[in-house]
Amino acid sequence: MDEKLKNIKKLNVSKPLLLDCKQTVKDFSLAYETYGKLNESKDNAILVFHALTGDQFVSGVNPITKREGWWVTAVGPGKAIDTNKYFVICANVIGGCMGSWGPKEIDKKTNEPYGLNFPVITIRDIVKAQETLLDYLGIKKLLCATGGSMGGMQLLQFCATFPNRTFSAVPIACSTSHSAQNIALNELARQAIMADPVWDKGRYLKKNVQPKNGLAVARMVGHISYLSEKGMQEKFGRKLQEKADYEFSFDADFQVESYLRHQGFTFVERFDANSVLYITRAMDYFDLARQFKGGLVEAFKDQKTKFLVISFSSDWLYTTKENKDTVIALNASGADVSFAEIKTDKGHDSFLVNEPEFLKTLKGFIDSMYLKFKNEKRI
Amino acid sequence: MKKEFKVIADLLPKNVRVLDVGCGDGSLMSLLIKEKNIQARGLELVEENVKKCIYKGLSVIEGNAETELHQFPNQSFDFVILSQTLQAFYNPEKVLKDLLRVGKSVIISIPNFGYWKVRTKLLFFGKMPVTKTLPNTWYNTPNLHMCTIKDLFDFCLEKNIKINKVVGVNEDKTSEIKKSNLEMKNLFSKLGIFLLS
C-alpha cells in the first residue's frame, strides 16, 4: 500500500506545529485531495473534514482502495455539494493512515514506523495542521466548511481556533465534547486492538503484519453504533445468511453477523490499527469548553460564520440533544445559527448514505450561502 | 395576512435584532430584512417550514417555543415577534414571560375572539365560530386558549406588563386601540397586535 501512497497529493508542512502534548513537529506530510475548480475570486471553496475512518478521497473513486469515495452521496458533479460549481478540499487527518503523518509513517530518528512513539494528538492539532493547507492553496476565506461525526467536531474546533476563516459552517451529527458513552465505545475498540497478540504494543508493522482480528472487532463495534435499533431490525431482522436453518455452530448464521464480519474484514485491508488508537483518543480528549476559560460562550464569541447544525432523529451516538446543546452554545454567544433535525431511521450513518431530506437541506443551505457570500463581497 | 406583517414592520425601527417565534416559511423575516435591514432569526416547529427558511438563506432553529425558548439568553433580542400563536400554547402565560425575558420588547398578534362576527356565530347559531381568521372546527383547532383583545389587554394590566401600543386590524384598515375605545375596537377588529415590554 505504501508504494501506492507515493502518487497522491501531499503538502509538506514546514511551519513548526506545537502539539497539545507540548511536542513541536515540523516537516510533516499532510495528504489531501481536491475536487472541482477554484474560481478566480476564490470564493467557492468548501473544506470537508472527514470522520474517524474516512480519508481525503471524498468523491469519485479512491485511487488506493479502488472503492467509491466515502461521501459520493453528497459530493460530486450535480450532487448536493456540486463540484461543477464548488471547489472541494479534504485532507487526511494527522494520525491517519492515508498518506498524512501518522503512526505507520517512518520515524526519522529510528528509521522505523512510529508505532506508539507517535505523539498523542488532539482534534485541535489535527485542525491546526489542516489550516496550513488553506494557506498553501491561497484561500483566505472559505465559502463553507462541513463534516459529520468527528468531521463535525473538527469543524467546531476550526471555527473556535480560526474565527471567521469560513463564511458558513455545517456541523453534522456531532458535539462540542465526547460523551461518556462515546468514550466507552472508543475504549471498546481500542481494547479489541490491544488484546490482539499480533498488535505487540504497536510494533506489528516491523514484522509487516496487522492485528487483523482486533481491528475487525473494533470496526464491528463502530458499525453497530452507526446504525439505529429500528434500522438494523428492518434491514436484518432475524434473517439467516444463505441457509435454511441454524447450523448449531458459531459461524455467521444470521445476516447481521455476516454483515458485521464483512465490514470488519474489509476494513483491515485499508486501515492501520494504531491509527484507530490515536484518532479515537483525539476524539475522546475533545472538549471545546475545557479549552476556553469562559467555556463554550467564549469559544464561539465574535463568530460571524453562519452555522447550520444538522442532527438525525435516530442517531444515538451523537443525539439530537447533544447537537441542540451546540446550537444553544452558539446562540448564547450571539452567533448566527440554524438548526434542523432530519427524521430518519438510518442512525448516525445518515449523513453518509442516500438520505434525500438531508441532502436537500445541505444543498439548499450551501447554495443560499454562496449567493450571500458573493453579495457580501460586492458590498 | 399581509396587512398584519405590514403593521409589524411599521412597529419596528431599522437595524434591530429580531426573533420571530413560529416564523413559518420565513415570509415575515424576508420582509423585515428587505425593508428594515433587520437581523432576523426564526424559531419554527414544522420541519417543512424550517427547510423553506434554510433554502432562502434565513437563520432558523427547528424547535418548540413552548419548551425551547430557554436556549436564548436574557434580553438577547431587541424585539421578539409572536404572530397568531399565543392561543395555541399549553401555557401562554409562561411563554409570554419567556418572550419578555428574551426580548427587550415583544410584539404579539392574536386573532380576536371578541370580533362581532365571532360573537354572533356563537350567539345566533350556538356553534363554535368558524371564520377566515379562525378556520378550524372545535375538534381539530390548534387553538387551546382563545382570547379577545380585551382579555389580553386586561391580562397585561394584571401582570404589570407594559403596553406600548395596540393596533386593531380589520381587513385593510388599521387603528390604534386605547383604553378609551377598547370596547368598540374589541368588537370590530379581527386581529389585535400588541407591542409590549
A306 reaches B (C-beta below 8 A): yes
Mean pLDDT computed over A241-254: 94
Looking at every residue in chain A, the average pLDDT score rounds to 96
pLDDT of residue A346: 96
Q: Please tell me the distance from the alpha carbon of residue A25 to that of residue B185, in angstroms, as a whole number.
A: 75
B71 reaches A (C-beta below 8 A): yes
Q: Please tell me the distance from the alpha carbon of residue A116 to that of residue A216, in angstroms, as a whole number.
A: 20
* Closest partner CB to A340 (pick from B56, B57, B62): B62
B47:A341 CB<8 A:
yes
Q: Given a cut of 80, is residue A305 above it in pLDDT?
A: yes
A252-283 pLDDT, tens digit each: 999 999 999 999 999 999 999 999 999 999 99
Q: Which residue, among A166, A171, A160, has the nearest Cα to A300 in the 3D structure? A: A160
pLDDT of residue A294: 81
pLDDT of residue A2: 64
Q: Given a cut of 80, is residue A4 above it in pLDDT?
A: no
* Closest partner CB to A372 (pick from B57, B62, B63): B57
| 3-state SS, residue B160 | coil
pLDDT of residue A376: 86
Q: Given a cut of 60, is residue B1 above it in pLDDT?
A: no
CB proximity list for B67: less than 8 A, separation 6 or greater: none
Percent of chain A exceeding pLDDT 70 equals 99
Cα–Cα–Cα angle for A294, A300, A306, rounded to 5 degrees: 165
pTM: 0.94
CB atoms closer than 10 angstroms to residue A286 = 24
* Closest partner CB to B51 (pick from A324, A331, A364): A364
Q: Given a cut of 90, is residue B18 above it in pLDDT?
A: yes
Distance to chain B for A264, nearest Cα, Å: 36
Which of the four pLDDT bands, split at 50, 70 and 90, describes residue A72?
very high
Angle between helices A273-285 and A150-161 (to 10 degrees): 50
- Domain parsing of chain B, residue ranges: 2-112+148-196
Pick the CATH number of A184-279 from 1.10.760.10, 3.30.2000.20, 1.10.1740.110, 3.40.50.2000: 1.10.1740.110
C-alpha cell at position A41: 475570486
Q: Which fold has domain A4-180+287-378?
A: Rossmann fold (3.40.50)
Please report the sign of the dihedral spanned by the C-alpha atoms of residue A199, residue A200, residue A203, residue A208: negative
Q: Please tell me the distance from the alpha carbon of residue A136 to that of residue B98, in angstroms, as a whole number.
A: 49
A213-243 pLDDT, tens digit each: 999 999 999 999 999 999 999 999 999 999 9
B90-115 pLDDT, tens digit each: 999 999 999 999 999 999 999 999 99
Buried b (16+ CB within 10 A) or exposed e, A84-107: ebbbbbbbbbbbbbbbbbbbbbee
Q: Given a cut of 80, is residue B78 above it in pLDDT?
A: yes
Among residues 21-50 of chain B, which lie with CB inside 8 Å of chain A?
A: 41, 47, 50
pLDDT of residue A307: 98
Mean pLDDT computed over B25-43: 96
A334 reaches B (C-beta below 8 A): yes
CATH class of B2-112+148-196: alpha beta
Q: Given a cut of 80, is residue A5 above it in pLDDT?
A: no
Distance to chain B for A25, nearest Cα, Å: 41
B62 reaches A (C-beta below 8 A): yes
Mean pLDDT computed over B47-56: 96
Q: Please tell me the distance from the alpha carbon of residue A275 to that of residue A103, in angstroms, as a whole number.
A: 6
B73 reaches A (C-beta below 8 A): yes
Q: Which residue of A has its CA nearest to B76?
A: A334
A56-60 CB contacts, 8 Å cutoff, 24+ apart: A56/A8, A56/A9, A56/A31, A56/A32, A56/A90, A56/A91, A56/A92, A56/A98, A56/A99, A57/A33, A57/A90, A57/A98, A58/A33, A58/A88, A58/A90, A59/A35, A59/A83, A59/A88, A60/A35
Helix spans in chain B (H): 2-11, 27-36, 47-55, 65-68, 92-102, 116-120, 149-158, 182-188
* Closest partner CB to A331 (pick from B50, B51, B72): B72
- Domain parsing of chain A, residue ranges: 4-180+287-378, 184-279
A119-149 pLDDT, tens digit each: 999 999 999 999 999 999 999 999 999 999 9
B62-72 pLDDT, tens digit each: 999 999 998 89
Catalytic residues of A: 149, 315, 348
A74-120 pLDDT, tens digit each: 999 999 999 999 999 999 999 999 999 999 999 999 999 999 999 99
Q: How many helical (H) and strand (E) elements, i.e. helices and strands, does chain A have? A: 11, 14
Relative to beta strand A87-91, strand A112-113 is unpaired
Looking at every residue in chain B, the average pLDDT score rounds to 94
